[in-house]
Amino acid sequence: TEFVTVSELASMMDVQPTQVISACMSLGIFVSINQRLDAETIAIVADEFGFEVEFVSAEVQEAIPVQEDKDEDLLPRAPIVTVMGHVDHGKTSLLDRIRNADVIAGEAGGITQHIGAYSVTLENGKRITFLDTPGHEAFTAMRARGAQVTDIAIIIVAADDDVMPQTKEAIAHAQAAGVPMIFAINKVDKPTANPDKIREQLSQMNILVEEWGGKYQCQEISAKQGLYIDELLEKVLLEAELLDLKANPNKNAVGTVIESSLDKGRGYVTNMLVEAGTLKIGDIILAGRYAGRVRAMHNEHGKNLKEAGPAVPVSILGINGAPSAGDKFYIMDDEREARSIATKREQLYREQGLRTQKHITLDEIGRRL
Ligand code: GDP
Ligand code: MG
């Protein structure tokens, strides 16, 4: 990875670019004034001039106003749930089932659209939001970017199979993220189903389910036949209650990008989840390396929205590019400032190159004492 240019490094150290060029030459490296240098060269050259190089995160330099919440501003919010498990164990079937449990989907009358997440309102009036990107790709992609939007993970295991490698991976991801797990033992309609074998295999991983005296909630289900889905959702609500999830809806929205794409007719479409505050049409938005104004917003039923509060997934138009899954979004007061931060991030991104996963940049050179 290459960072600053010869002339930038020179000005940071308050020396002439020619001095940096000769320092490089004495190392056997021939550079021009606008050439970017790699970390090692920068460190050695800086050392020649008595400087020490520190690599810091690029994220910290921006001043994004984040409104603090007072206790009385916090209101209960819906939990955000991810379903994870081995391939063919029933993730998609379960997510489809749950989507059909939504009591307001029918009223809305629109066509169901994939926007990376959906909310269901249950008969008791309670709402749950599900991330519906298959597998744990979304979960891990977001975690890799430092975003954590999931409150609860449902780990689904087919009762006619075993705790499989991807089941173990899903468990490991949830544990690493400190996200509480609920186990759904699926396909209990099958004659070959053996739920106790699954409980046994989980216990061998130190995961003891409630009915065996442990702390993990567990529910036998049949996603295909729609059996015990309500019971599973009750357990999700119970877990959510214990977590006491709250957010302030009365401030500028903040949240996370779930996915984004370029639509031929409509431009960039960004699917995202509001985590706190309320997102409104016309808001100036900064999302990852892009910015814009919220021109239109709709939900998973294709219904146009004027605003969206905490734990509401939305699809919006108006951002000037495609931010990555896991990028945070913020609302800014000044469109020029939003664009300027986005541009700066884009430059840093290019400088760091697409190769690197680590978000490091040469930001400051401290004089050695
Ligand atoms: P995914 O790969 O985890 O998303 O699994 P799918 O939901 O695509 O399911 C894989 C296969 O298992 C499909 O053929 C489903 O019809 C079937 N399946 C899912 N849930 C059940 C269930 O509860 N009972 C039975 N018998 N089959 C199921
Ligand atoms: Mg699937």
Candidate ranges 61-65, 67-71, 234-238; pick with highest mean pLDDT: 234-238
Distance 170 CA to ligand 2 centre (A): 14
Alpha-carbon distance of 252 to 65, in angstroms, equals 10
Q: What is the mean pLDDT of residues 26-45?
A: 88
> Does 107 score more than 70 pLDDT?
no
- pTM (predicted TM-score): 0.80
Distance 129 CA to ligand 2 centre (A): 18
Q: Looking at this protein, which amino acid is placed at residue 348? A: L
pLDDT digits (tens, 9 = 90+) for 255-292: 999 999 999 999 999 999 999 999 999 999 999 999 99
Alpha-carbon distance of 85 to 90, in angstroms, equals 8
Neighbours of 15 (CB within 10 A): 16
DSSP code string of 209-256? BGGGTSSBEEEE-BTTTTBSHHHHHHHHHHHHHHHT-EE--SSB-EEE
Residue 96 annotated as binding? no
ipTM for the complex shown: 0.99
Residue 91 annotated as binding? yes
**Long-range contacts, stretch 332-339, CB < 8 angstroms, 24+ apart:** 332/64, 332/65, 332/284, 332/285, 332/286, 332/291, 333/65, 333/284, 334/284, 335/284, 335/291, 335/293, 338/284, 338/285, 338/286, 338/291, 338/292, 339/291
Q: pLDDT exceeding 70 applies to what percent of the chain?
A: 87
Q: Which atom of ligand 1 is nearest to the CA of 186?
A: 23
- Choose one of 87, 93, 131 to mutate for the ligand 1 pocket test, by most ligand atoms within 8 angstroms of C-beta: 93
pLDDT digits (tens, 9 = 90+) for 328-365: 999 999 999 999 989 988 887 776 653 333 332 333 33
Q: What is the mean pLDDT of residues 159-169?
A: 95
Q: Which atom of ligand 1 is nearest to the CA of 227?
A: 23
Q: What is the mean pLDDT of residues 65-79?
A: 89
Q: What is the mean pLDDT of the chain?
A: 87
Residue nearest to atom 19 of ligand 1 (CA): 90
pLDDT digits (tens, 9 = 90+) for 290-305: 999 999 999 999 999 9
Q: How confident is the model at residue 368 (pLDDT cuts 50, 70, 90)?
A: very low
Residue 134 annotated as binding? yes
Q: Looking at this protein, which amino acid is placed at residue 207? A: I
Specify the range with the lowest mean pLDDT, choosing from 82-86, 209-213, 276-280, 354-358: 354-358
What pLDDT was estimated at residue 355? Answer: 36
Residue 339: C-alpha distances to residues 17, 141, 180, 342 (Å): 31, 25, 38, 5
Q: Which of 38, 117, 77 is nearest to 311 (CA)?
A: 77
Q: What is the mean pLDDT of residues 68-77?
A: 93
Residue 301 annotated as binding? no
> Does 239 score more than 50 pLDDT?
yes
> Does 57 score more than 70 pLDDT?
no
Residue nearest to atom 25 of ligand 1 (CA): 187
Q: Which ligand is nearest to the CA of 227?
A: 1
Report which secondary-structure segment, H or E, holds 24: helix 17-26
What pLDDT was estimated at residue 14? Answer: 84
Q: How confident is the model at residue 55 (pLDDT cuts 50, 70, 90)?
A: low
CB 297 within 8 A of CB 339: no
Residues making up the chain, counted from first to last = 369
